[in-house]
A and B are shown apart, each in its own frame.
Chain A
Amino acid sequence: MDLRFTEEERAFRAEVRGFIDRTLPDETRARMASGRTPTKEQWGWWHGKLYERGWSVPDWAKEHGGPGWTPVQRFIFREELQQAPAPQPQQFGTMMVGPVIIAFGTDPQKRRFLSGIRSGKDWWCQGFSEPGAGSDLASLKTSAKRVDDHYIVNGQKTWTTLAHWADWIFALVRTDPNAPKKQEGIGFLLIDMKSPGITVRPIKNMAGVSHFAEVFYDDVRIPLSNVVGALDDGWRVAMTTLGFERKTAAMGLQLELSVRVEDLIALAAPRAGTATAERLADLRAEAAALRAMTYRALFRDPATASDGSLVRLHFAELSQRIHRAAMDILGPAALLGNGWTHDYLESYSETIAGGTAEIQRNIIAERILGLPREERS
C-alpha cells in the first residue's frame, strides 16, 4: 500500500489547478461556492474551455478523443475541480451515455454523438424512472412500438434531471411487452428532445428549485438506428451505465463532504468537550472514512475494493447527518433561506436518487454478504 503521488502526478495537479485559476470566472466560482448549480451559460462556457484544453471527457480513452489519463490523473482532476469549486464536465453525456455508446454503440452512432458530447454542443439527460417504476425500474411501461424502421414511443418519464436544458435524452422503453422476464424486452433509445410529441414539465423540489422534470412522449417517432445495443437488450446496456455513475460520481463527492464538515466546524466553533464538539468530531471522522473508502474503491483491485454501494450509502447518509447538524448549529438562521438550509433540504434526495438507501442495503446484503434474496415478482 502506498499513498504517495509521483513527481509527475504532483506536477499534473499543479497544471490542473493553474488552468482552473486562470480560466474559471469569479461569478461561476462564487455561484458554485454558494452550493448552487451553475447557470446553463456558465456551465456550457466552462465545458467549452475544458474541451479546448482537451479535458472535457476525462474518463475516455485517446482513441475516442479523451486524454487517456490514468485513474490517478482522473482522480486528481476531479479533486481539483471540486476544490476550486468548478463545474464538472457535463455529466450525463461524458460519464453516462458517452461510455455506453463507446461500449455498445455502432460506428455511425459513435460518429454522430461522441463529438457533440466532447464539445458540449449536445446536452444529455437520462430517462429511466417513471411514475410507476422507481426502485422496481424494470417494470417500466413507456412503450416503443415498431413501425417499419422506426419506434413510436408513448408514455411518461419522471425525475429527469436537467431535462429542460437537454438536447438529447437516453431512455429505457418497453420494446417487447410479451417478453418472458420484465428485464427482457427493454430498449435503450437515444431521443432528440426536439422531436414532435415531447413535452417537458419541470418539477419544483422541496428546496424550491427545479432541477428535474417530467417528460411526456406522445407518438414520438425514433429511428431504429438510435437504439444502442440489440433492440431488446437495453436493460443490460443500462446496468452498465449505472455502474459508470457509481464509480465516477464517487471521485468528487468525498471531497465535497470533507469541505462541508470543515465549513461547519468553522461555523460552530465548538468548545471542547461539548456535545456539539463530539458530534462534529464524529462527522469529521466519518468524512475521513468516506475519503478512505473512495480511495479504496479506486485504487485497489476490484475483488477487494470498496463496493460502489457501500461508498454511495455512506456518502448519502453522512451528507444528511452533516446537514442535520448544521440545522441545529445555525440557531434561528435555520428558519431562513440560505446556503446551509438549501443544502439541508436538498440532502433529502441523497438517500432516494440513483437507488434508495433501502435498495443499496439490499445490494450490500445480497451481493457482498451473500444473504438470501428476498422474493420479487
Chain B
Amino acid sequence: MTFDLNRSEDQRRILDAADGLLDQSYPLSRLRTSQSDDLGPLAAFGAFSLALPEETGGAGFSAVEEALVHVALGRHVVTTRALATALAARLALSLSRADLASRFADGSLAACAAVRDGDAILLFESAGTGDRAGPALLFDGRELALVEPDTARAERLPGLGHGPDVLRVADSSATVPGRTGDAGMLAAADLLVSAQLLGIAEATRDLAVAYAQVRHQFGRPIGAFQAIKHRCADMALAAEAASSLLDFAAVAVAEARADAPFQVAALRRLAARAALENARACIQIHGGIGFSAEADAHHFLKRAHLLSRLGGAPALLDLPAPLAPHRTVAERS
C-alpha cells in the first residue's frame, strides 16, 4: 500500500447503496410536508451500526465509510436523530452498556440531539410528545452525555423559523446513564457532525448551480453572469476544501494517526463555515424564491445552524501541527 486517495471498491459500493436508499426514502421533496423522518429505512440499512465492531453486531466499517455515509445524510437533510442515534450507539458501547448499544444500533431505540442552555437542556427533533421523548445525546461543551430527560415537565419552545418545536428541560430532571470526555469519542462525533455539514455545503452548491442554469434573466441563464458564476465557484472551493480535509481527517482517525485530532479540529472549523456560507449563497442565488419556504434552500441553512452548534469547536491552536516548521521566527524577521 502507498499513498492513495481513491475510494476503494468497498467504499464506492456502500456509498452507492446509501445514495440509493436516501434518494428513495428521503427525497428532498419530503421536506415540504411537515412530517418528521422515519428512521426505519436507515436502521434497516444498518446506518447506526456501520462502524461498530463486528463482535458487537456492527458492520465493522472504518471511520472513513461512516463519515462518507454521513456526508450523504447531510445532503438529504436527514433528521439529526440519525446522527444522535449513531453516536449514542457508540457512546453506549464505550460506557459498557451493550444492552443500550444494540438497541440504538438496530434502530429500536432512537436518540435526539441536545445542547446545553445554561442549567437547562434543549432537545431538537425529539420524537416524544408524551411523558418520554426517549434518550438524548447531549453535546455538552467538550463532553458527550447520554441522558434520559423527563419530558413530562418540558417547556415547549418554538423552533427556528416555525420549524419543529424545541423541548427545554431542566438539567436536574435528566438522569444520566453516562458521560464522557474521551478524545476518541469526541473525534468520532466531530467527524460525523463535520461530514453532515459538508453534505450541506455540497448540496447547496449543487442546488445553486442547477438553478443558475435554468433561471433566465436578461435573456440568458443567470449562471452566465460573472456575479453569479463566481459566487458558485466560491461555493465549489469551500466544498472542495472541506471535502479534501474530510478524507484526510477520516483516514487519520481510521489509521489512528498522531495528527488525527489536528485534522478533525481543522475540519470541524472549516466544515461549519463552508455549510453556512454555501447555504447563504444558495438562498441569494435563488433570489425571491430562495427566501420563500416553498424552495428547499432554507432547510439547509437552518440545519447548518443546528449542526454547527453540536459540540464546542475543538481548540485547534492547542494541538501540535503535523508539520513543525524547520525555520524559526527569528530567522524570518
Contact (A259, B255) CB under 8 Å given A284-B266, A285-B269, A372-B221:
no
Distance of B311 from chain A, by nearest CB (Å): 16
A339 touches B333 (CB 8 A): yes
B269 touches A255 (CB 8 A): no
Contact of A370 among B2, B209, B251, B252 (CB under 8 A): B209
A371 touches B248 (CB 8 A): no
A275 within 8 A of B: no
Contact (A289, B244) CB under 8 Å given A2-B2, A30-B331, A280-B317:
yes
Contact (A340, B236) CB under 8 Å given A3-B255, A285-B266, A289-B270:
no
Distance of A157 from chain B, by nearest CB (Å): 28
Contact (A371, B5) CB under 8 Å given A1-B247, A266-B329, A270-B317:
no
Q: Which of B159-167, B223-231, B297-305 forms part of the interface with chain A?
A: B223-231
A370 touches B213 (CB 8 A): yes
B289 within 8 A of A: no
B247 touches A277 (CB 8 A): no
A299 within 8 A of B: yes
B270 touches A286 (CB 8 A): yes
B224 touches A372 (CB 8 A): yes
- Set of chain B residues within 8 Å of A83, measured between Cβ atoms: 323, 326
A2 touches B1 (CB 8 A): yes
Q: Report the separation of the CA atoms of residues A313 and B232 in the bound assembly, to the nearest whole angstrom.
A: 14
Q: Report the separation of the CA atoms of residues A314 and B213 in the bound assembly, to the nearest whole angstrom.
A: 25
Q: Which of B6-14, B43-51, B122-130, B150-158 forms part of the interface with chain A?
A: B6-14
Q: Report the separation of the CA atoms of residues A34 and B332 in the bound assembly, to the nearest whole angstrom.
A: 5
B2 touches A5 (CB 8 A): yes
Chain B 218-257 interface residues, beta-carbon cutoff 8 Å to A: 220-221, 223-226, 228-230, 232-234, 236-237, 240-242, 244-245, 247-248, 250-252, 255, 257
Chain A 351-377 interface residues, beta-carbon cutoff 8 Å to B: 358, 360-362, 364-366, 368-374
| Chain A contact patch, size range | 35 or more
DSSP majority for the A interface? Answer: helix
A371 touches B252 (CB 8 A): no
Q: Report the separation of the CA atoms of residues A331 and B5 in the bound assembly, to the nearest whole angstrom.
A: 42
Interface hub of B8, B220, B225, B321 (most chain A Cβ within 10 A): B321
B327 touches A72 (CB 8 A): no
B321 touches A1 (CB 8 A): no
| Chain B contact patch, size range | 35 or more
A365 touches B248 (CB 8 A): no
Chain B 291-333 interface residues, beta-carbon cutoff 8 Å to A: 315-318, 321, 323-329, 331-333
Distance of A341 from chain B, by nearest CB (Å): 10
- Set of chain B residues within 8 Å of A285, measured between Cβ atoms: 245, 265-267, 269-270, 316
B241 touches A289 (CB 8 A): yes
Distance of B178 from chain A, by nearest CB (Å): 29
A-B contact pairs, 25 of them (CB 8 A): A1-B251, A2-B3, A3-B248, A30-B331, A259-B327, A272-B315, A281-B316, A281-B317, A284-B321, A285-B267, A285-B270, A288-B267, A304-B6, A339-B333, A340-B332, A340-B333, A364-B233, A364-B237, A365-B232, A369-B209, A369-B233, A371-B212, A371-B221, A371-B223, A371-B229
Binding site for A on B (CB under 8 A): 1-8, 11, 64, 205, 209, 212-213, 220-221, 223-226, 228-230, 232-234, 236-237, 240-242, 244-245, 247-248, 250-252, 255, 257, 262-263, 265-267, 269-270, 273, 315-318, 321, 323-329, 331-333
Beyond A1-B64, A339-B333, 15 additional pairs, beta carbon < 8 A: A1-B6, A3-B248, A3-B255, A3-B257, A258-B323, A259-B326, A262-B321, A266-B328, A288-B263, A288-B270, A289-B244, A296-B5, A369-B205, A371-B221, A372-B223
